[in-house]
């Protein structure tokens, strides 16, 4: 549940060719970033490195390392090292996802659930990309409200570590799915409108949106569709 700081709309004006270049490079780097994510998840599942880590410690590790990576990526986004940092970040995110993936694979239909979650995430991406390409109005004002929503959700996640409420957790998961779908629309629209001039920063934003959408879908599928042997 992390979202990097975004450059405001209108900060730099790009022509159509430059906007298409940023978008094209973003999609290409996004596709590459899936490889270390899968590798990280596979390593985490096979080694069980996070299996015995408490939720509180896991959250601290997740927030500390992920924000550190995002800060470093933004500082080096105009250098080749920014790409390598991004790929290292996606490997770490895959590793952090491994606990959920391992739990889902414990179901007899776990592989199917993961495939459905991936397909659902791809469908959301395609829908938001199409919507972003046809919407004519400026969506820049959405950013503030979405950021506030992300902060509220983060507070709710921390609170639920102590409350351990199943109802609250389900509410958080559903809210995350809706919030980051809206974030995805906002980020893609911002890139298409020339509000983001750097494809590394653009990839980071879109990757985080998709990561949270996939995680939310997989969690919901596990809750409602998981089958024990």
Structure token pair of residue 189: 């629209």
- Cβ contact 214:188 at 8 Å: no
CA–CA distances in Å: residue 165 to residues 51, 101, 158, 171, 218: 21, 21, 12, 10, 19
Local confidence band at 107 (pLDDT 50, 70, 90 cut-offs): very high
Cβ density class 35-46: b for 16+ within 10 Å, e for less: ebbeebbeebbe
CA–CA distances in Å: residue 30 to residues 120, 126, 197, 211: 17, 14, 16, 11
The C-alpha atoms of residue 222 and residue 229 are separated, in whole angstroms, by 14
Give the three-state DSSP class for 138. coil
Name the residue ranges covered by the structural domains of the chain: 16-225
- Integer-rounded Cα Rg, in Å, for the chain is 18
pLDDT digits (tens, 9 = 90+) for 73-105: 999 999 999 999 999 999 999 999 999 999 999
Query: pTM of this prediction?
Result: 0.91
Percentage of the residues of the chain whose pLDDT score is greater than 90: 72
Stronger pLDDT, 18 or 212, i.e. the higher one: 212
Local confidence band at 8 (pLDDT 50, 70, 90 cut-offs): very low
Range 218-223 average pLDDT: 95
Which of 100, 56, 62 shows the shortest CA–CA distance to 219? Answer: 100
Continuous segment of H or E residues that includes residue 116: helix 110-134
Chain-centre distance of CA 128, in angstroms? 14
Is the per-residue pLDDT at 3 higher than 50? Answer: no
pLDDT digits (tens, 9 = 90+) for 33-74: 999 999 999 999 999 888 778 777 888 888 899 999 999 999
């Amino acid at each position: 549940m992390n979202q990097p700081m975004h450059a405001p709309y209108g900060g730099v004006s790009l022509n159509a060719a430059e906007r298409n270049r940023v978008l094209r490079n973003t999609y290409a780097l996004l596709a590459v970033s899936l490889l270390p994510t899968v590798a990280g998840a596979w390593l985490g599942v096979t080694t069980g490195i996070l299996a015995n880590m408490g939720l509180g410690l896991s959250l601290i590790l997740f927030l500390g390392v992920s924000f550190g990576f995002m800060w470093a990526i933004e500082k080096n986004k105009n250098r080749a090292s920014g790409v390598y940092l991004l790929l290292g970040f996606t490997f770490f995110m895959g590793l952090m996802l491994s606990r959920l993936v391992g739990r889902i694979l414990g179901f007899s239909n776990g592989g199917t659930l993961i495939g459905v979650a991936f397909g659902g995430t791809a469908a959301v991406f395609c829908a938001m990309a199409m919507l972003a390409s046809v919407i004519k109005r400026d969506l820049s004002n959405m950013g503030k409200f979405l950021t506030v929503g992300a902060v509220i959700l983060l507070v709710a996640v921390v609170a639920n570590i102590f409350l351990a409420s199943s109802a609250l957790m389900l509410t958080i998961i559903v809210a995350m799915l809706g919030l980051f779908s809206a974030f995805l629309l906002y980020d893609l629209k911002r890139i298409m409108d020339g509000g983001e001039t750097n494809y590394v920063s653009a990839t980071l934003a879109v990757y985080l949106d998709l990561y949270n959408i996939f995680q939310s879908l997989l969690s919901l599928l596990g809750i409602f569709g998981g089958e024990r042997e």
